[in-house]
Every structure is written in C-alpha cells, then in structure tokens.
Amino acid sequence: MRAAILPSLVARDGSSSGSRWSALPDNFSALRHRDFRLFWFGALVSFFGTWIQNVGQGWLVYELTGSETLLGLLTLITNGPMMVLTPVGGWLADRYDKKVILTMTQSALALTALTLSVAVFGGFASFGLIATLAALSGVAAAIDIPTRHTMISSIVPPEDLANAIPLNSATFNLARLVGPAIGGFLLEQFGAGTCYFINGISFLALISALHMIQADVKPNHRSSGTMLNNLAEGFLYVWKRRDFRLLALMVFVAAFFGMFFISLLPAVAKSKFNLGGNGLGMLMSSTGVGAVVGLLGLAALSRLPRRGLVLMSAMFGIGLGSIGLALSAQPYQAMLALALLGMSGSAFLSGANAVYQALSGPEIRGRVISVHIWVVAAANPVGSFVFGRVSERNGLEFAFALGGSVIVAVAVGVFLFSKSIRALSTE
C-alpha cells in the first residue's frame, strides 16, 4: 500500500543506479538516492498542508481578535516550547531511531490540526483553544525539526550532504509557492476548518515515506553522561568556536529583526492593502517563489568553499527585503519585497545549517543543529511579539523599516570587521 503512494520514487538500491534518477545533474545529486527522494517528497506533501493551515490560521486569529500583537503572541506561543525543548530534540536524535521519533511527532502534529478542524466546524474555536493546541504543536515540532535535519546525514553519503541540505529545505519553500494560494482559495470558499483538515491528513505522506526508507537511521555513536551534560556539550561546542559563535549571532539578528514579517502578513493583507484570503495567499506565495530561487541557487553553489561571503550577502538581502516591504505602496511591490525576503532568508538559514553540519562531528551533530534551530526558535517568536507591539503602536511600515535597517547594519559590520566569517569554508 505504501509503495503505491510514491511508486516512481522507489528503486531497490539506495542510490537508484541505472534509473532515470541517476541522470540528474549535480545540482540535484542528492535526489539520486532512493531514501532521500522518499523523505523529500513525503516532506513536500506535508509542508503543502502546513502552508495551507498557516493561511487559514493567521486569517482566523486576525478575524477573531483584530490584533497584530496577538498575531505575534501566537507565534511566540507556537515556538515557545522550541526555546526549551529543541536541544532535547537534538539529544534524542543523537541517541534513538530517527524514524520512530519522526513517526511519533508527525502523528501528534496531525492530531492537533484535525482537532482544530473539528473546533472550527463545530463553532467553538477561540483564540485560547488555538493558542493551547499551537503550544502542543510546538512541543512536537521542537523534537521533530532537529530530528528531520539530522536525518539527512543518515540517508545521503557525505559527498552529497551539502547538496541535500538546501534541497531538503526547499521542500518547505516549494510548498510555500503554491500552498498559500491554495490555502487562500480554500479559506474563501470553505473556511479555515478545511485548511486545518487538509493539513491534518497531509502528514500521512511523510509517515508513509518514513516506513519505506531502508537506511539504518539509528545513531552509531551514543555519548555517555546525563542528558543535561550532553546538551551543555552542544552549546559549549558552538561557543568555543569563534566562527560558530559569530554565525549564531548573525542567525539571531536575522531571525529576531527580519523574520517576524510572516506573522504580520494577515495584517498587511487586510489592513494595509484591503485584501481578502486569496490576497493573503498570494503574498505568502511570493515568499515561496523567492525561497525556492534562493535554495536552488544555494544548491548550485554547494561545492563553493567560501560559504561566509554567501551568508553575508544573504543576510544583507533580508534587510533590504524588509525595508522594501516597508516602502511598498501597492500589493505587487510588497510581493517583490517578500520574494527577496524569501530568497535571502532561505539561503541564509539553510547555508548556516550546511556549515554547522559540514564542520561538526557525527557524534555531536544533532546537538549542534539543535543549537542552531534553538537560536531561530528563540529569536523569531520573541521578535514577532515585539514587532507586533511595535506595529500596533507605530505602524507596520515603521516595524519593517526598523528591523531591516538593523540587519543591514549588522551584515555590513560583519563583512568589514569579521575575518573569521569572511574566511568561513566547508572544506
């Protein structure tokens, strides 16, 4: 039954040698491997559902509350558990079977989405209920995300890892191309309950793919000591390396000052441009267009050793995109700015992920990646809440301009004064 779900992706050998997949160009070399293809397409379907729900949920919350602050607060509630539990997720990924962990987290995420669908159709949805289930989803995501990231190094060989990481990130952003537009259509035609329902059943694709993967994804190395000691090792490992420490600071600045725009897009659509659900979907899809371009470009540059210059350029682009969004007077101008934000943001975060994975040993990689994810998980929701308050008091335009200006200043400062980042290489 599961083989029928993704029939064209399955080959008997791990690398699909001799199949049409082996003829893929080097830009897509990771997709030559059967297990990675299954994981990739399963995640793609699941993320379609995620983006459909994001449109419906953001619109529903803004309709229920009319508050930019509460939009930001929902992001904080959703990602709050990740601030605490993401390092635990990395620790679990370093010690236990990743397929089992992901099956459990994906099932939990499906259950919360389907519960919200019932709540909307039953007429008892409220901000309190949405926030409660968002927090539970955050707990599952805190374990799910670092496990998914470290899964990649278990199903592709080392020589294709730098290519696999941006391609893996592309699933989230390819879904962002079409998912929000579909979500906007479903929202206007059938309501937010349908958006939640579609997301709930979409998790079945990745759960099925996980059961079809043949690679042994149990960890080969198990560190000794208590969980807290193991988690501390991950943070200390990042802190002791000057390049990792500065990269973490760059990631924090970009996530805090530049990535809150997603949580405020319902307000941008409804209050700034007087758009409906379809308009919100198109704005969100614009970020997906840019993100896919950014990740494909990063995959094409995966064998380029000088990663620092790529990361600084991408960070600068995040700042410019945010300033451009502040200056947008028409929806099409906002869509162009959002495309730049999507392109630069995806290239920056995925590029940082690739650096951490390439330069970390396998025995600690899960914990290092969990530190990277934790920085984003801590900075983005707090930034969303802070800038939600800023936008309510001073306007959306001021919030976007302020955040973008800080990022541009930091990117220029790193370029001028940080030799360790300029010289950062994965070789």
User: Bigger pLDDT: 421 or 345?
Assistant: 345
Mean pLDDT score of the chain, rounded to an integer? 85
Give the residue ranges of DSSP H helices in 156-276.
Answer: 161-190, 192-212, 227-240, 242-258, 261-267
Q: What is the mean pLDDT of residues 23-50?
A: 84
Contact between residue 157 and residue 99 where contact means Cβ atoms under 8 Å apart: no
- The CB density around residue 158, as the number of other CB atoms within 10 Å, is 9
Residues 6+ apart with CB under 8 A from 169: 295, 346, 349, 350, 353
Q: In 96-160, where does DSSP find H-type helix?
A: 98-122, 127-155
pLDDT value, residue 220: 60
Mark residue 395 as left, alpha or beta (left: phi above 0; alpha: psi -120 to 50; beta: remaining). Answer: left
Predicted confidence at residue 217, as pLDDT, reads 67
Reply yes or no on whether the pLDDT at 46 is more than 80.
Answer: yes
Residue in 142, 141, 147, 140 with CA at minimum distance from that of residue 94? 147
Question: Do residues 103 and 210 touch, judged by C-beta distance below 8 A?
Answer: yes
pTM: 0.74
> What one-character DSSP code corresponds to residue 382?
H
Would you state the torsion angle of the CA atoms of residues 106, 108, 111, 115, taken in this order, to the nearest 10 degrees?
Answer: -130
For 393-415, write each residue's pLDDT tens digit.
Answer: 999 999 999 999 999 999 999 88
282-340 confidence digits (pLDDT tens): 998 898 888 888 877 777 766 666 677 888 889 999 999 999 999 999 999 999 999 99
Percent of the chain with pLDDT over 90: 45
What top-level class would CATH report for the domain 25-215+226-422? mainly alpha
Contacts of residue 238, Cβ cutoff 8 Å, sequence gap at least 6 = 244, 245, 248, 368, 371, 372
Q: What is the percent of the chain with per-residue pLDDT over 70, rounded to a whole number?
A: 87
Between 185 and 13, residue with greater pLDDT: 185
Apex 416 CA angle, 318 and 374, nearest 5: 45
Structure tokens at 186: 């479903």
pLDDT digits (tens, 9 = 90+) for 383-394: 999 999 999 999
Band of pLDDT at residue 94, cut at 50, 70 and 90: confident
The reported pLDDT for the residue numbered 119 is: 96
Q: Which residues are CB-neighbours of 72 under 8 A, at least 6 positions away?
A: 260, 263, 264, 381, 384, 385, 386, 387, 388, 389
Q: CA 209 to CA 1: how far, in whole Å?
A: 11
Position 354 scores a pLDDT of 80
Interhelix angle 68-95/227-240, nearest 10 degrees: 110
pLDDT tens for each residue of 203-249 = 999 999 999 988 776 666 555 556 677 668 778 888 888 888 889 99
d(CA 333, CA 327): 8
Least confident of 11-15, 83-87, 187-191, 358-362: 11-15
Find, among 98, 332, 138, the residue nearest to 219 by Cα: 98
Whether the predicted pLDDT of 12 surpasses 50: no
Would you state the pLDDT for residue 325? Answer: 96
Q: Report residue 217: phi and psi, to 5°.
A: -105, 20
- Number of neighbours of residue 117 by Cβ within 10 angstroms: 24
pLDDT band at 114 (very low <50, low <70, confident <90, very high): very high
Closest CA to 145 of 101, 193, 80: 101
